[in-house]
Amino acid sequence: MTGTKAASRLVRRFRYSVIVFVALAVLTLQGSTVLAAAVDFESVAVGTLWGESGGQHPGELVLVQNDISVYVEEFFFGGTAAFFEAETGGRYASFFDSTPLELNHISVLFDFANVGVEVNQVTFDYLYLGGVTNFAVNERITFMLDSMEAIETHTAPGIAATVDDRFVTLTGNIDSFRIGGQELYIDNVTVIPEPATLLLLGVGGFWLMRRRVRTSV
């Protein structure tokens, strides 16, 4: 009888471990959508102004959403620097599913230092209406571009960029990125954790659950 009870316990333990492991595998495979964090400016009142018009100075923190920090920065074009305004909403807000940020001779820096995981991918929506665009990744050199499509495929060491007419994807180890424009809208800045980080988090959770099963049997 004792042997039968022990065998039954082992079967229950094995089944539970398998369930947890399968859940872990699904989480790891779908981690890009499960644990993504984003800035969509929905927490900010439409019409909010940042920059000179809002009384801020270059380098000032203006928003923290989902542990992503947003700073206002100078905008460079034609050998000069400007620092005018960023406005939530704007004239062409209807082009987006959520509240966008309109950039008018200003740049914004998105810092991922406090997200808590290694960021492997960043995506964002945009609407380009003309003029110069500023772009930089990981505090590297700021490029002054004549269009969003001019963002180079290898925009920084270890960073790959893909751009279509409304969407930008950056892939690599990303700590921050800066973007500015004369007539540019951005929205839904989304960070996706590195798969290896998700796996380590999942394995840790799996072994904690497995240990709990052992101690409860």
Instruction: Give tens-digit pLDDT for 132-182.
Output: 999 999 999 999 999 999 999 999 999 999 999 999 999 999 999 999 999
CA-wise closest residue to 39 among 62, 60, 59, 66: 66
Residues 6+ apart with CB under 8 A from 83: 51, 52, 58, 72, 73, 74, 75, 105, 106
**Can you give the residue range of the structural domain that contains 118?**
35-194
- The amino acid present at 213, given as its one-letter code, is V
Closest CA to 139 of 177, 113, 171, 190: 177
Per residue in 83-117, pLDDT (tens digit) is 999 999 999 999 999 999 999 999 999 999 999 99
> Are 22 and 49 within one domain?
no
Are the C-beta atoms of residues 121 and 135 closer than 8 Å to each other? no
Are both 58 and 148 inside the same structural domain? yes
- 8-state DSSP, 159: B
Q: Are residues 190 and 210 in the same domain?
A: no
* Tally of domains within the chain: 2
Do 179 and 139 have their domain in common? yes
Please state the pTM of the whole predicted model. Answer: 0.77
CATH of the domain at 168: 2.60.120
Helix axes 195-216, 2-29, angle to 10 degrees: 160
